[in-house]
Every structure is written in C-alpha cells, then in structure tokens.
Structure 1
Amino acid sequence: MARRSVGILAIQGDIEAHARALARVEADAVAVRHAEDLEGICALILPGGESTTISKGLERQGLYEPLEAFAKAGRPILGTCAGAVLLAREVENHPVRSLGLLDVVAVRNAYGTQVDSFAEVADSKLENLRCVFIRAPRLRRPGPEVLVLARVDGWPVFVRQGKILATTFHPELGDDPRIHGLLLELAG
C-alpha cells in the first residue's frame, strides 16, 4: 500500500513532532497553510499552540470554509490541545471563532499555565495511554454523538464524533502512535 499524506495545519504548534508521529504510522506529513494545500491529503491535524493566534491565522488565510468543507466531505480531522478548542461547537471562556465540528464546549487553559503542565495515564480502553498536558483545555458537555475514548480525573481528554477526533493533551509528544494511527484508520 502506498504511503498516505496527512496535512498538518502549519500556522502554529509542534508541526515537527506531529510529522514524526505520522512517520511512525507510515504516513507523510504535508504542511497546510493555504486552501490548496488540502488537496491530495487523506486527513488533517490541527496541532496545539495558542487558539487565538491559530484562529486569527485561519481567518487571515481564508481557511475556515475550506476546513469545514474538508470535514463535510468525510475526511477525518484530529485536533490536539488548541486544535480541540478550534473544533468545539462553543468556547466558554475567552471566545475564539471555532469550526463547530465537534459537539463539546471547550474551556481554554483549564488546567492552568505552562508551569502547571503535567503527564498522566488516562482511564481508557487504550491501555497505558500517557497524556501530556500543557496549558490544556477541558472539554465539557459532550453531545449525544460524542464518544469519550479517554478520561483523566473524570474529564474527557480524548473524544470522537464521526471522523472528528480531539485530544486535550499532546499525543505527538510521546512514543505512542495509536492516536495518529486511528486518524489514518478513519481515512480508510
């Protein structure tokens, strides 16, 4: 089987770490900065960073509508940390424009500042899923179509709605390729 190409939104975030994670699941990373960069990719990653900065970049590059069309065409998207915020139907504190593709409410920086970063093993069917949280959001009020795949301290940290995946942590910062692998599985 030929290697597939997965886009990584390249406005902000640890693009290289996601590219390394994709290489572990035998996929090629493609930087997405413009709408035409979405052509030819089978899936997309919205990485962490700062959601306000990324939102402004999406606006500046005219990417909101192309990203919505990408999802409506049935292509999978993984949002990590700030990327999860951008997927949410609503952002509760310090609202930013989101894509509204995931039926959850995101609370930005719910775990505190950079100094409050931590790692934890999640309560999940994915055994020993180690989660690295850096200024992480919290996901609240998941809708009826949202599957909670992992929790930490009772809070959803990994969710799925159709072909939309979101983590409040950074799966790219560990050696565990399962979440990036699931993204590829959803691409077919």
Structure 2
Amino acid sequence: MTKIGVLGLQGAVREHVQSIKVSGAEAIVIKKKEQLDEIDGLVLPGGESTTMRRLIDQYDFFTPLQQFGKQGKPIFGTCAGLILLAKEIVGQKQSHLGLMDIKIERNGFGRQRESFEAKLTITGVADDFEAVFIRAPYIEEVGKHVETLAFNQGKCVAAREGNYLCSAFHPELTRDHRLMQYFINMVEESKKHLAS
C-alpha cells in the first residue's frame, strides 16, 4: 500500500491523516527524520509557518526534507506547507525549504477573521471544490515549469511543479478528498518512475 507521511510537528495533522486513509493510502505521522525513509510521499500541513520552521530546525528535519523532495518523492504543502515549499516569500529575505519555484504573499487574503470558503475549479481535480481559506497565502509569481491549478479572486491558490503540489487553502477541512486523491495518484506515478 502507498504510504503517505504527514509532518507531525505542528498544524492540522489529524485531518490530513483522515483524508489520506479515506483516499485509500496508509497514513504515517512523521515525528522523526528517519521515518522519511519509510514513506512514498509527504504532506506538509497547514499551521504556523514560522513555528513549523523552528521545529524543523530543532528536530534536524531541514536537509532530510530537501533531499526527500530532490530525489523525486512528492510533497504536498497546504497553507503553511505552501509557504515552507516556496523559493521566495514577499517581504522576507530568506525562504524556508525553497523547493518550489513560486513567490508567495503570506496572509494574502487577510488575517484570521477574514477566513472564508470559496468554490474553486482545480485543473485536473474538480470544477466545484469547496475550499476553506484561513489566513491564507497566495502565489504571486510562478516559474516557467510551474503549472497553475486554481485561482480565487484572480489570485493563484494552487499549483504543481513536477513532484511538488501546493494549495493556499485547507483541503483537509472538508469531506471533499479529491485533491488528496490527486496527490496520491502523483505519489503512485512517482513510485513507478523511481522503481524503474
């Protein structure tokens, strides 16, 4: 069975685990860097990106996470996870993992009280996806190999670059598991590719 890890340092871990299981894969909460060797794909959940980065450094995850992505294993970053993946963050000198060729605006849709839901068309996934935005970032610029997948209020809120997938919203907070299913399909494709 395909094994999907959820980085379990902070954020919406349990909801992602549930979504992975419903989508037919095995979910593993990742709390030690050694566990990365056991999984086929990884979810970086929503939460607080600065706190997550501090914990990534504290538990010596930084280089192992970068290597995981660079060896071709899929990573799906949601909300704060998207911020961790981005190569560039508006108003910050340094990015975090810097794996995905995107420039993002943190809290792009406002603060906590401006949280909202919106129906999105996500290319290759759904044309009626109910997305939950909580202090959400958005993608301001994408590199030439990045495919934009969804927009809200004219701003890019989901994208894919090779084995990296990201969303500015929280797909795990609804009962719609189609985006997780899309990610699991990516992982299954990469398993075949990496095995050949």
Quote the offset at 1:176 in angstroms. Answer: 1.3
> What is the TM-score normalised by the length of structure 2?
0.91
Q: Which residue of 1 aligns with 2:159?
A: 159
Alignment size in residue pairs: 186
- Structure 1: which amino acid aligns with 2:154? G
> Alpha-carbon deviation of 1:123?
3.4
Distance 1:181 1:95, change over 3 A: farther
How far apart are 1:138 and its partner, in Å?
1.3
Pick the aligned partner of 2:17 from 16, 19, 23: 19
In 2, the alpha carbon distance for the partners of 1:70 and 1:55 equals: 16
Which segments of structure 1 move beyond 2 Å, counting only runs of 4 or more? Answer: 93-97
Q: Unaligned 5+ residue runs, structure 2? A: 189-196
Distance in 2 between residues matched to 1:153 and 1:4, nearest whole Å: 35
In 2, distance between residues paired with 1:185 and 1:95?
35
Change (3 A) 1:131 1:96: farther
Alignment match, 2:106: 108
Report the aligned-residue RMSD. Answer: 1.2
Deviation at 1:61, TM superposition (A): 0.9
Question: Percent identity at matched positions?
Answer: 36
**Structure 1 residue runs without a partner (length 5+):** none
Contact 2:17/2:29, CA 8 A, preserved across alignment = no
1:90 to 85, 88, 91: 88
1:67 to 45, 57, 65: 65
Structure 1 distance, partners of 2:18, 2:60, is: 28
Residues 95 and 132 of structure 1, relative CA distance in 2, 3 Å threshold: farther
TM-score normalized with structure 1 length: 0.95
